[in-house]
Amino acid sequence: MEATEKEKISVEDEAVDKTIFRDCSKIAFYRRQKQQLSKNPTYQALLDAVTTEPDRTSFQIVSEATKVPLRVEVYGIEKNIFRLKINEETPLKPRYEVPDVITSKLGTVRMVSCSGDAGSLILTDEKGDLKCHISANPFKIDLVSQDETVLSINSLGQLYFEHLQVPHKQRATKGNQESVPADSSQENQEDLGLWEETFGKFVDVKANGPSSVGLDFSFHGFEYLYGIPQHAESHQLKNTGDGDAYRLYNLDVYGYQIHDKMGIYGSVPYLLAHKQGRTVAVFWLNASETLVEINTEPAVEYVLTQMGPAAAKQKVRCQTDVHWMSESGIIDVFLLTGPTPSDIFKQYSSLTGTQAMPPLFSLGYHQCRWNYEDEQDVKEVDAGFDEHDIPYDVMWLDIEHTEDKKYFTWDKKRFANPKRMQELLRSKRRKLVVISDPHIKVDPDYSVYAKAKEQGFFVKNPEGGDFEGICWPGLSSYLDFTNPKVREWYSSLFAFPVYQGSTDILFIWNDMNEPSVFRGPELTMQKNAVHYGNWEHRELHNIYGFYQQMATAEGLIQRSKGKERPFVLSRSFFAGSQKYGAVWTGDNTAEWNYLKISIPMLLTLSVSGISFCGADVGGFIGNPEAELLVRWYQAGAYQPFFRGHATMNTKRREPWLFGEEYTRLIREAIRERYTLLPYLYSLFYQVHMSSDPVMRPLWVEFPDDVETFGVDDEYMLGSALLVHPVTEPQTTMASVFLPGSNEVRAITDISYGKVQPAAFTYYAKTSTLSLEKLSLSIADDWEVHIR
């Protein structure tokens, strides 16, 4: 069964069809949590029976509604990190706890119990700088630094935990009375989605019934929050209203809508809060579908009394409340206490790993299209770069290079001699990247499929057979990368004797690994599909692509016997994906607003641990006008991952196809990238070793300058270069914010005098501009270089 033409581009229209995807009102666990929390259920901590071990402090909490105990564990971790785990005391079966993301056995710090009253417990490390103040009734945790409460947990009473239940049939025979959410009588169970949930024609049958969890966090004095990629949104997180939340659920969204909180290709459940003098973060380690609500109450002044000529006032500082909700798993959360942005980056990387050090070639320019037609097409495009004196390092091939969309194969007519093609690229010190997706064509004569099926390496359906869905090859099965044996086997497929036609200049692109299933619910895999360990897909959906990138990177390392660093680009990702390579922002559109939104999207990825990131230059979907294409090259030249890419139904757009003047401007932009390569390579070494991101929002470099906190149209590349891309058409003037300086030097025409204060405007020599000016680059002493 082949994929239809409409399925080949997911959505014919350039605007995403949002009826394919769910909003909060259609998500059952969201509705249940909102309904039950409106009844103000509370938990009480049983602090008269606290267990203290070398690495943790444990106690029980009990809900007034269910009377069923939960086990709370508090850990002190090196580098000023606290870990909080909440799980059922005696679940019917183990609940899913996310493996493989945390880098290694964490170094724990012994927590000391300080004096507290009968209704509280105070824990601190030996230094005593940070205290964890646990209140019993109602259960609440305050994180205190130097006698100031920085962060509170469950201060709004939104802790929510659904206990695993015996399925209906077993319950009827056993007479079991497992607790269910209040008011979940048989009549309204369908509406609450306890055992079945319907979306369109799809029915999600839940073997264990409801299992969602939730918890609130209050950041005291903080109103600027960042993180939780991936969304096509501003860098600073926005307030969410009723029925609105940031969704973390990896989805194949073609031509995603901008300024929208719907989930797209990747999920990092990690949020940073920043204010003058302090940065903190919360890492919510859960791989199931997750929703995040945010509400900021700004600082206000209250009039207390009217005495004499002036009113006495008391200032109430701002507070931001964040409510996390996940469909399943346990509550496993890390509290990162900073205090500086750099400290936060080090703390997070100590948990999930640092950015992999990329090979130098991967920091150059990449040329891609769906699809370069054949070997002759590749040869001609490669020669075009030489003819027009434009540097590039990597040629890419999309799915059409394979035989009938069978990965690890070559189309025998189009790419009859792939080694010869690679040797041509090698002769010019260039590389090749080819695509390898997680779906495997159902074809007994296809060796990869036959071997995987024989060994039981595919995700299963609830009945125990191989899960099958439609993707590029037609009917496909999906490798279960959560299984270590599958990852080991998949890694072996990249060995030169196995991957016929491959050489040591061939590297890999993992796409469609959300995973994408064209005729599945929300174009992805059914949640009751079954993985290794008998875990349902709902438990680990967001980590599926992470595992494919892990296995691919390991395969390339093994291929070279550990002598060469791999390059792997993945569309889907999770916390810790930075250890395995690069990601990009997916199927963007050739419009100015997509160029503009790419900057905050990449900044958000960067502060969330993933420094090696970029956006398709020119826009994947549609045909960019020449001015937009030039502007995108100028912006992309200063972004960590620099690739031009376009979908199959667009006009060809190699850099020399728009006339000599535009060719010259694109050539200059790409050459500027190569001028910066030593600096970029040094920045990647820095992020690999010490975790400070390559692409930095201004607030990271200027953490006490409030004016920088909401800026996301310019950024620092390392600590020495300010970049302000031009993202509007027909620009003849650009205003650039210069932080951290009372006096700057700038030039217009030949030179300006001194300019004050922190913002400056420059004009083009011509009325049309600006195409002559690249993204404005400003050195650390704020000397402006205008080209």
For residue 377 the two structure tokens come to 């097409």
pLDDT for 110 equals 86
Task: pLDDT band for 304, please (50, 70, 90 cuts).
Answer: low
Mean pLDDT, residues 56-84 taken together: 94
Predicted local confidence at residue 375, as pLDDT:
98
State the catalytic residue, choosing from 587, 616, 654, 712.
587
What is the spatial distance between Cα 652 and Cα 619, in angstroms, rounded to a whole number? 13
pLDDT at 741: 57
Rounded Cα distance between 314 and 307, Å, is: 14
In 78-223, DSSP assigns E strands to 81-88, 108-109, 112-114, 120-124, 130-135, 140-145, 148-153, 160-161, 196-199, 202-205, 213-220
Q: Residue 787 pLDDT more than 80? A: no
Helix 375-387 crosses helix 418-427 at what angle (to 10 degrees)? 10
pLDDT of 4 > 70? The answer is: no
Per the model's pLDDT, the better-predicted residue between 182 and 41 turns out to be 41
Mean pLDDT of 326-345: 98
Residues 173-198 have a mean pLDDT of: 59
Give the per-residue pLDDT at 780: 40
End-to-end CA distance of the chain: 55
Split at pLDDT 50, 70, 90, the class of 758 is very low
How high is the pLDDT of residue 734?
85
Query: Which has the closest alpha carbon to 15: 727, 625, 622?
Result: 622
| The one catalytic residue among 511, 522, 554, 654 | 511
What domains can be seen in the chain, in order of their start residue?
A: 26-162+211-352 (2.60.40.1760), 360-696 (3.20.20.80), 698-785 (2.60.40.1180)
Type of residue numbered 376: Q
Determine how many CB atoms are found less than 10 A away from the CB of residue 39.
10
In sequence order, what are the residues at sequence separation of 6 or more whose Cβ sits closer than 8 angstroms to the Cβ of residue 721?
638, 679, 777, 778, 779, 780
394 touches 433 (CB < 8 A): yes
- Residue 197: phi and psi, rounded to 5, are -135, 130
User: How large a percentage of the chain has pLDDT more than 70?
Assistant: 87
Phi, psi of 430 (to 5 degrees): -110, 165
Residues 572, 566: Cα–Cα separation, whole Å: 18
Rg from Cα positions in the chain:
27
Give the total residue count for the chain. 787
Instruction: Supply 237's token pair.
Output: 């997180």
Q: Once rounded to an integer, what is the mean pLDDT over residues 275-304? A: 92
Which pLDDT band, with edges at 50, 70 and 90, does 308 fall under?
low
Q: What is the pLDDT of residue 186?
A: 41
Predicted confidence at residue 766, as pLDDT, reads 28
| pLDDT confidence of residue 127 | 80
d(CA 22, CA 524): 12
Averaged pLDDT, 76-81: 94
Report the 10 Å Cβ neighbour count for 224: 22
Q: Is the pLDDT of residue 557 over 70?
A: yes
Average pLDDT, the chain: 89
pLDDT surpassing 80 at residue 745:
no
Could you read off the pLDDT of 370-423 as tens digits, one per residue?
Answer: 999 999 999 999 999 999 999 999 999 999 999 999 999 999 999 999 999 999
Res. 212: pLDDT tops 90: yes
466 is catalytic: no
Per-residue pLDDT band at 243 (split at 50, 70, 90): confident
Backbone angles phi, psi at 605, to 5 degrees: -60, -40
- In angstroms, what CA-CA distances link 95 with 78, 290, 391, 481, 783? 27, 16, 52, 20, 57
Rounded distance between C-alpha atoms, residue 21 and residue 8, angstroms: 18
Helix or strand run (H / E) with residue 224: strand 224-227
Q: Is the pLDDT of residue 584 over 70?
A: yes
3-state helix, strand, coil in the chain (%, to 5): 25, 30, 45
The torsion angles phi and psi of 253, rounded to 5 degrees, stand at -115, 105
* Whole-number pLDDT of residue 268: 98
- What element of type H or E holds 605? helix 592-607
Least confident range from 225-234, 287-296, 300-309, 410-419: namely 300-309
What is the per-residue pLDDT for 147?
87
Cβ atoms of 717 and 599 within 8 Å: the answer is no
Q: What is the pLDDT of residue 41?
A: 81
Find, among 679, 678, 639, 671, the residue nearest to 655 by Cα: 671
Give the pLDDT of residue 757: 27
Least confident of 359-373, 378-392, 740-754: 740-754
The full 3-state SS of 322-335, as one line of letters, equals EEEEECCCCEEEEE
Average pLDDT of span 158-169: 88
182, pLDDT greater than 50: no
- C-alpha 435/C-alpha 402 separation (Å) is 9
pLDDT at 310: 58
Question: How would DSSP label each residue in 723-780?
Answer: EE---STT--EEEEE-TT-S-EE--STT---EE-SSEEEEE-SSTT-GGGS-SEEEET
Residue 638 has pLDDT above 50, yes or no: yes
Are residues 585 and 601 in contact, defined by beta-carbon separation less than 8 angstroms? yes
pLDDT tens track for 442-498: 999 999 999 999 999 999 999 999 999 999 999 999 999 999 999 999 999 999 999
Of 327, 398, 400, 514, the catalytic one is 514
514 is catalytic: yes
Query: Mean pLDDT throughout 113-136?
Result: 86
Whether residue 749 lies in the annotated active site:
no
pLDDT band at 168 (very low <50, low <70, confident <90, very high): low
